[in-house]
């Protein structure tokens, strides 16, 4: 089978490119920008990048990627790479293009087949193509980019200056579909095939060894637990660490789903380690280190000791924590990625490391898991520790846990739970004056965060009905001790992140 390979030059959205092709049914993998061209390459996509191609240390692919006759699609920086390496000219733009732009199609040649002559695309670049390489011609333009799309039929190479992978580009999926059809790729990437592929990978890697799975109660670790049961039955030890930082009723929920689970009560230990800590990165790293310590201690009493520590890590966690494939920037450390100690007592087993949440949910549905499990909102690995701004105390934990429960109950009652990506409460260390009954109060603030997203990489705040927000506010200020004010977060991602810390 011929595969589609995405070369990563450091864009935060590289995985989004691969995900879009997967949604269309085309199997895709991500490679570092300097990787050789695989023998089974059926098509290549060159990603965006924060770099400029003319910089001294700019990441550039091997020339063979562009000279072997494999169909190529360069996106943004990828178009500039094609231009730069094949004899054209790239220079800083006098007018940078960030955000929406109107694309005018000059020639539909394959890429724009069946699309309107004008539509909106999403731009994010400070350089532009000044001169085309030989035998390339323009397919489209915008006001700021005369060569917004280019093509060389002999080389079977396309380039676009905009980002078809983001939802803000109209007909972006159609453009990727047209490229895949031009390349003659086979549509084999389906949820059922993903399940079988993951099972085979797990069996190949684990063999007859044992696996220790960190259950959290969330979608990812729950689906992974059922996947391990089917792939390597009887070889997994299920463990749930009650850190004291979890959602309301999490321990009971996990016990219902996995009656064989080993529950480790570690709340006091985590609270003690976090005493006085206020910096979010320090919180994450303390939780990550202690989390693994607890597992190692538990595993030391097992005979034989498991070789693997399984985690439901997803790609958004990875790409925000470390540069995994290309030279991408670190956004924040996730406790189960960048926060882990360098020397582990286990080998990590992370089958979902290059999957998005919606793909994991699709896997769960194929495997027959209940919708109640599959549709649960994402929850951060460090738990409520990163939903408490400032110091973590037992009282503040109970405060935010209670408020979070109210937010979930009211969003569910409004019929919106499965329509939004996340809905939760954040405790803000600001003392505000209030009046309750006939008395003056000084309480903390709860910020309510409800966002809509497709994949967690970008998000927008949800325009939920005002009466829903009113009910949430009334309940939180009336039921949660020590809180006398509720605010609603109307920040999108970017510029913010979904979680506050």
Contact 138, 132 (CB under 8 A): yes
Contact 7, 46 (CB under 8 A): yes
Of 354, 17, 352, 16, give the one whose Cα is nearest residue 4: 17
DSSP at 187 = B
DSSP at 163 = -
- Enumerate the β-bridge partners of residue 31: 7
Could you count the other beta carbons within 10 Å of the beta carbon of residue 159?
Answer: 30
The yes-or-no answer on residue 293 being catalytic is no
**Catalytic residue (one of 76, 84, 335, 402):** 76
Calculate the CA dihedral of residues 491, 492, 494, 499 and round it to 10 degrees.
70
Token reading at 486: 């509720």
Residue 495: asked if its preceding bond is cis (omega within 30°), the reply is yes
Neighbouring residues of 437: CB distance < 8 A, sequence distance ≥ 6? none
Pairing mode, strands 149-152 and 157-160 = antiparallel
Burial 425-450 (b: 16+ CB within 10 A, else e): bbbbeeeeeeeeeeeebebbbbbbbb
DSSP string, 313-343: --HHHHHHHS-SSSSPPP----TTTTTS-SS
**Catalytic residue (one of 110, 125, 163, 402):** 163
Rounded CA-CA distance 212/289 in Å is 17
Residue 304: asked if its preceding bond is cis (omega within 30°), the reply is yes
Contact 294, 269 (CB under 8 A): yes
Rounded CA-CA distance 325/66 in Å is 20
Pairing mode, strands 28-32 and 41-46 = unpaired
Rounded CA-CA distance 136/106 in Å is 14
Rounded CA-CA distance 335/211 in Å is 20
Q: E-assigned strands of 67-136?
A: 72-75, 89-105, 118-131
The yes-or-no answer on residue 165 being catalytic is yes
How many C-alpha atoms does 250 have within 13 Å on its Cβ side? 25
**Catalytic residue (one of 97, 110, 165, 335):** 165
Of 359, 339, 349, give the one whose Cα is nearest residue 286: 339
How many C-alpha atoms does 131 have within 13 Å on its Cβ side? 8
Residue ranges of alpha helices (H) inside 325-390 are 357-366, 371-374
Contact 186, 36 (CB under 8 A): no
The yes-or-no answer on residue 168 being catalytic is no
Rounded CA-CA distance 481/424 in Å is 18
Residues with catalytic function: 76, 163, 165
């Amino acid at each position: 089978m011929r595969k589609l390979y995405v070369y990563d030059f450091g864009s935060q959205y590289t995985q989004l490119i691969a995900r879009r092709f997967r949604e269309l049914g085309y199997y895709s993998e991500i490679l570092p920008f300097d990787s050789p061209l695989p023998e089974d390459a059926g098509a290549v996509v060159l990603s965006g990048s924060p770099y400029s191609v003319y910089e001294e240390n700019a990441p550039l692919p091997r020339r063979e990627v562009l000279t072997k006759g494999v169909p190529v699609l360069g996106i943004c920086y990828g178009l500039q790479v094609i231009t730069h390496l094949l004899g054209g000219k790239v220079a800083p733009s006098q007018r940078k293009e960030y955000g929406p732009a109107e694309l005018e199609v000059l020639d539909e040649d394959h890429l724009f087949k069946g699309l309107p002559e004008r539509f909106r695309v999403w731009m994010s670049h400070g350089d532009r193509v000044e001169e085309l390489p030989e035998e390339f011609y323009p397919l489209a333009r915008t006001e700021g980019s005369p060569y917004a799309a280019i093509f060389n039929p002999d080389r079977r190479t396309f380039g676009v200056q905009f980002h078809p992978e983001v939802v803000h580009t109209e007909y972006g999926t159609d453009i990727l579909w047209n490229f895949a059809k031009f390349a003659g790729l086979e549509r084999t990437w389906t949820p059922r095939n993903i399940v079988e592929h993951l099972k085979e990978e797990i069996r190949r890697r684990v063999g007859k060894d044992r696996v220790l799975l960190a259950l959290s109660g969330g979608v990812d670790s729950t689906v992974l637990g059922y996947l391990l049961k089917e792939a390597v039955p009887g070889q997994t030890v299920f463990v749930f660490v009650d850190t004291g930082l979890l959602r309301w009723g999490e321990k009971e929920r996990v016990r219902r789903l996995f009656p064989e689970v080993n529950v480790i009560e570690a709340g006091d230990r985590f609270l003690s380690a976090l005493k006085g800590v206020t910096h979010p990165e320090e919180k994450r790293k303390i939780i990550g280190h202690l989390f693994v310590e607890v597992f190692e201690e538990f595993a030391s009493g097992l005979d034989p000791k498991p070789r693997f520590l399984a985690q439901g890590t997803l790609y958004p966690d990875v790409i925000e924590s470390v540069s995994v494939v290309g030279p991408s920037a670190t956004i924040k450390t996730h406790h189960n990625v960048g926060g882990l100690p360098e020397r582990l007592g286990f080998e990590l087993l992370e089958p979902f490391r290059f999957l998005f949440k919606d793909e994991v949910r699709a896997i769960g549905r194929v495997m027959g898991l209940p919708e109640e499990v599959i549709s649960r909102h994402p929850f951060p690995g460090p738990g409520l520790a990163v939903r408490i701004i400032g110091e973590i105390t037992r009282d503040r934990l109970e405060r935010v846990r209670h408020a979070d429960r109210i937010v979930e109950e009211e969003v569910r009652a409004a019929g919106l739970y499965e329509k939004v990506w996340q809905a939760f409460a954040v405790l803000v260390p600001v003392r505000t004056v209030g009046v309750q009954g006939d008395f003056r109060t000084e309480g903390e603030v709860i910020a309510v965060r409800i966002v809509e997203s497709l994949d967690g990489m970008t998000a927008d705040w949800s325009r939920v009905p005002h009466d829903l927000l009113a009910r949430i506010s009334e309940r939180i200020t009336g039921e949660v001790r020590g809180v006398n004010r509720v605010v609603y977060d109307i920040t999108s991602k970017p510029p913010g992140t979904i979680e506050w810390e």
